[in-house]
């Protein structure tokens, strides 16, 4: 195992144990933070499969995990995880549930953000921040954009995007599309220069 990889913490030994848990409405992995245990890219195929089944008791939990995990993969930008997200988006694209297909579109937007794309206008920065701070379901549940602010900073070079629910901000270079998620007090001169 290279120093870029980490041990998987996916809590299921095999597919059968995942489905036993998923179909039991009372099964819990632990008392709290069950969603955090499921946030492992090795689980993408099973999470997508469960999210695609309307009758599955854990469908909603799997949706939340898919959104959170996709966002974290984009924030970290580790090549292996990005490859797993790319494969998961392809798998989800062909599923029957509208939410799962929408998640595939969302995951592909996140993947595009991980490639330096060029100029970003205010609307683009707002969409990018909404995707980074909230997945599709969370966005649909919110009215308007009062939960999100987009301001110019860095002497006019950067968009500074903030969600009222997050302590970190999304800083985007307005000209190149390069970005970084950081708490404003932790943004160093080197961070700003890299953008």
CA separation for the pair 30, 13 (Å, rounded): 16
CA separation for the pair 61, 36 (Å, rounded): 11
The number of residues in the chain equals 195
Task: Kindly tell me if the per-residue pLDDT of 121 is higher than 70.
Answer: yes
- Residues 21-74 have pLDDT tens digits of 999 999 888 766 778 889 999 999 999 999 999 999 999 999 989 998 998 899
Which of 157, 156, 151, 162 lies closest to 185, judged by CA? 162
The mean pLDDT value of the chain amounts to 86
Domain spans in the chain, listed from the N-terminal domain onward: 1-144, 147-194
- Residues 77-91 have pLDDT tens digits of 999 999 999 999 999
Per-residue pLDDT averaged across 173-193, rounded?
87
- Residues 139-180 have pLDDT tens digits of 445 555 677 889 998 889 999 999 887 788 899 999 999 998
CA separation for the pair 164, 63 (Å, rounded): 22
CA separation for the pair 88, 103 (Å, rounded): 10
């Amino acid at each position: 195992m290279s120093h870029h990889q980490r041990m998987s913490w996916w809590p299921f030994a095999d597919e059968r144990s995942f489905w036993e848990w998923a179909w039991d409405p009372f099964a819990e992995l632990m008392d709290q933070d069950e969603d955090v245990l499921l946030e492992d890219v090795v689980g993408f195929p099973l999470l997508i499969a469960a999210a695609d089944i309307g009758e599955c008791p854990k469908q909603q939990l799997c949706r939340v995990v898919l959104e959170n995990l996709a966002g974290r993969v984009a924030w970290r930008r580790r090549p292996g995880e990005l490859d797993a997200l790319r494969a998961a988006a392809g798998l989800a694209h062909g599923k029957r549930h509208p939410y799962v297909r929408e998640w595939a579109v969302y995951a592909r937007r996140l993947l595009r953000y991980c490639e330096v794309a060029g100029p970003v206008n205010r609307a683009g920065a707002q969409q990018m921040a909404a995707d980074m701070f909230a997945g599709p379901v969370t966005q649909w549940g919110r009215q308007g954009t009062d939960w999100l602010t987009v301001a110019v900073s860095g002497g006019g070079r950067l968009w500074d995007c903030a969600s009222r629910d997050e302590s970190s901000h999304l800083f985007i270079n307005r000209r190149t599309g390069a970005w970084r998620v950081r708490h404003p007090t932790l943004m160093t001169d080197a961070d700003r220069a890299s953008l």
